[in-house]
Amino acid sequence: MQSLIPIVITILRKDEKYLFIKRSKPPYENLWSLVGGKLEVGEHVTKAAVREVKEETGAEQILNYDIRGFVSERLVDTKDNLIAHFLIYVGYAEIGFFKGSHREGELALFTYDEIGDRSDQFLPSDLEMFSQFHKLPLEHIFFEAELVSDDGYHLKYFRRS
């Protein structure tokens, strides 16, 4: 039986750019994604998100952290078999200093236009979460998503829950 995996990810802004990590490990190897990781048992969402950001970026200070939304995301294969089911808390924060790389991957800043121009290099569901949650005011905060793993990753749907 597949269990639910609670995840915290954060949209990180530095000046007028956004920080992403190019994952070096499967399952999302070589794709730019939002910074984050697993929520530990008994850990509060905000503390987990700040911990993950500090671990993956080397930042000492995270400013103005705010929970922006929640996504229930299923990762399936081409035959619709469930690979994983993530419960994702999406946050937003500002960051100053960060290291250029981490054991999880390379870190880089992108303008909003650069993200759009290079969208094929980003994890599709993270790209959709970024577009839904990077600006205020938010119209919806609860979503369902399905990501299909085939020769890459394709977003089957991303909809209000």
How does pLDDT run along the chain (161 residues), one tens digit per residue?
A: 568 999 999 999 999 999 999 999 888 999 999 999 999 999 999 999 999 999 999 999 999 999 999 999 999 999 999 999 999 999 999 999 999 887 889 999 999 999 999 999 999 999 999 999 999 888 889 999 999 999 899 999 999 98
**Radius of gyration over alpha carbons of the chain, in Å?**
15
Structure tokens at 93: 């924060």
Rounded distance, CA 35 to CA 68, Å?
Answer: 15
DSSP alpha helices (H): ranges in 4-123?
45-57, 112-117
Q: Residue 94 is part of which domain span? A: 4-160
State the pTM of this model. 0.93
Neighbours of 110 (CB within 10 A): 18
Asked, as a colleague might, if the bond just before 6 is cis with ω within 30 of 0, I would say no
Side chain identity, residue 11: I
- What's the confidence (pLDDT) of residue 103? 84
The CATH number linked to 88 is 3.90.79.10
H-helix or E-strand spanning residue 129: helix 124-133
Q: Which residues of 50-85 are buried (b: 16+ CB within 10 A; e: fewer)?
A: bbbbbebbebeebeebebbbbbebbbbeeeeeeebe
H-helix or E-strand spanning residue 31: none
Contact 116, 18 (CB under 8 A): no
Number of domains composing the chain: 1
Q: Report helix, strand or coil for 99.
A: coil
Side chain identity, residue 80: D
Contact 88, 71 (CB under 8 A): yes
